[in-house]
Amino acid sequence: MSTPFRHVPHQALNFTSEEMLRRAREFYEFMNRRRSVRTFSDRPVPRELIECAILTANTAPSGAHRQPWLFVAVNDPELKKQIRVAAEKEEWESYVGGRMPTEWLAALAPLGTDWRKPFLEIAPWLVVCFKQSFGMEAGGEKLTNYYVNESVGIACGMFITAIHHMGLVTLTHTPSPMGFLSKLLQRPENEKPYILFPVGYPAAQVEVPDLKRKKLEEIVQWNLG
């Protein structure tokens, strides 16, 4: 039987209603500036910033507090090159080799993406989040993880938020299939690649698609509508 967690007093923030609304609006405006970037500068990023982003991701809630994630941070140029070569091989099959259906290719067309992924070498860091389908006890026994996809998805969202908060940029890169990451990064069988994040500064004068986000009334229903 699992040992019960020790309970401690919750450290409430105790903002006034006015302060809560101000903070909420400011945070929304700040996050609304977040964009996925595919053109990076090779300007170095201190390891401490990556550590802080991963620590922030690790504060995410998870099923039974299993924390079913592991982040692999890569800044070795040769390893980044190997990841790019393997990723572009899969992406070529998707974009050119017929793996992607026509509808999917049409949906991606306005973004201007293709199988070439130079950012995998240019960005100073590649951070790969692995989901742990099950854990391993010290004695080698399997430990069931719960709500793995939901938990890891939340952690990745918090990682993205942390990266934006510190003034860096990233991209949720998910070449399919991603098994090559398990091999290159030598991860065990219970871990599967979830998202690959290139992380760094945006290239000078980089441009991004002029996307429009859905309005509030398009994404929410209050009670029964």
Q: pLDDT tens digits for 12-52? A: 999 999 999 999 999 999 999 999 999 999 999 999 999 99
Residues 217 and 151: beta-carbon distance below 8 Å: no
151, 146, 152, 161: which is closest to 195 by C-alpha?
152
- What is the residue type of 212? K
**For residue range 175-216, what is the model confidence (pLDDT) as tens digits?**
989 999 999 999 999 999 999 999 999 999 999 999 999 999
DSSP element (H, E) containing 73: strand 69-74
Contact residues for 54 (Cβ-Cβ < 8 A; gap 6+): 71, 73, 127, 159
pLDDT of residue 139: 81
201: DSSP letter: P
Band (3; pLDDT cuts 50, 70, 90): confident
- pLDDT of 55 over the 70 cut: yes
Question: What single-letter DSSP state applies at residue 5?
Answer: P
pLDDT score of 171 more than 90: yes
Mean pLDDT, residues 57-65: 97
Q: Where do the structural domains in the chain lie, given as residue ranges? A: 36-204
Handedness of CA 160, 169, 194, 189 (dihedral sign): negative
pTM of the shown model = 0.94
Q: Is CATH 3.40.109.10 the classification given to domain 36-204?
A: yes
All residues at 6 or more sequence positions from 200 whose CB lies less than 8 Å from its CB, including other chains:
40, 41, 42, 43, 45, 122, 123, 124, 125, 168, 169
For residues 72 and 187, the answer to whether their CB atoms sit within 8 Å is yes
| Residue 173 main-chain phi, psi, to 5 deg | -100, 125
Distance CA 67, CA 77 (A): 30
The predicted-structure confidence for 108-165, as pLDDT tens digits, reads as follows 999 889 999 999 999 999 999 999 999 988 888 899 999 999 999 999 999 999 999 9
- 85-121 pLDDT, tens digit per residue, is 999 999 999 999 999 999 999 999 998 899 999 999 9
Contact assessment for residue 155 and residue 53, using Cβ atoms and an 8 Å cutoff? no
